Structure 1
Amino acid sequence: MSEQWIQGCLVQRITFRDGLVLNLDDYNELVISVPLELTLPETNTDDSEVVAIDPKALRNEVRPLFDFAGQRCTHADWEDNGSLHLSFSDGHRIDVRPDENRTSWELYGKYHGYAACLPHGRVRVVRHDQEDSDQEDDNITTRGG
């Protein structure tokens, strides 16, 4: 797996169109199209909480939970099975599991490339900021053979 280029990027905008869309600096965009777990950070009055959210069927009352625009992505990785894990500087976290029937998430980077979790947890990565030999192991990872 190659370095996740969005780590350290600032979340510039959070929108919902065909899923959750995170626009990050350096011309990066992450689209999450399947249900996710959003971990809300602890506050002075509330403990940390995990909320299950379907970004394609978002209720208006949960939109305020996505109030972390302006925060840095402090951790970004995906597993061989397609699970995506993100952490942000204010304590928010997003965890996404792969879907058997559709693309779970897609990451577009103008200066880096493309990564996606395809159906059945297959991860596809195309980097145009690295030599071909650097991405030999990054191209496709298939779960379950």
Structure 2
Amino acid sequence: MVTTEGWRPAASRSTLAMRAEMLAALRVFFAARNVQEQQTPILAPTTVTDSNIDSICVGDRFLQTSPEYHMKRLLAAYSTDSFQVSKAFRGSETGTRHLPEFTLVEWYRIGFDWEQLATEVCELINYLAAGYRVLEQPNFITYRQAFLNAIVCDP
């Protein structure tokens, strides 16, 4: 956690409490759907091959930019609905709302198509934001229709 005044944390006590509540709710959300929580390495001998993401090297290892690689290995080996709340690290990405170290959630669902997954994303956001804001059911359109709507071009 970044500090602004010597030893004092940058996050307020209320922010930390809200974060803890959100993480607990996230786990309840996935447990109710029989999605198993995983823990994968955050320090590994390899990293992503995405040229747009700067990995952080520590000795002969890399801090992981996301749990994707290790989660997909679990998925391939065990075909289990899985999620992970993980630290992720990306170099050259510092700003007022972005730090090189951050927390993310990544999950995989067996047999879900993109519409089911998009619906679940909205359900998760609504569950976590209960009492704050509610997202409407997503309006699904095709790739072709998106192009026609946005730039009147038929791909």
Compute the TM-score of the two structures, normalised by the length of structure 1: 0.29
Question: Structure 1 or 2: larger helix share?
Answer: 2
Indicate the structure (1 or 2) with the bigger Cα radius of gyration. 2
Higher relative CO (CA 8 A, sep ≥ 6), structure 1 or 2?
A: 1
Compute the TM-score of the two structures, normalised by the length of structure 2: 0.28
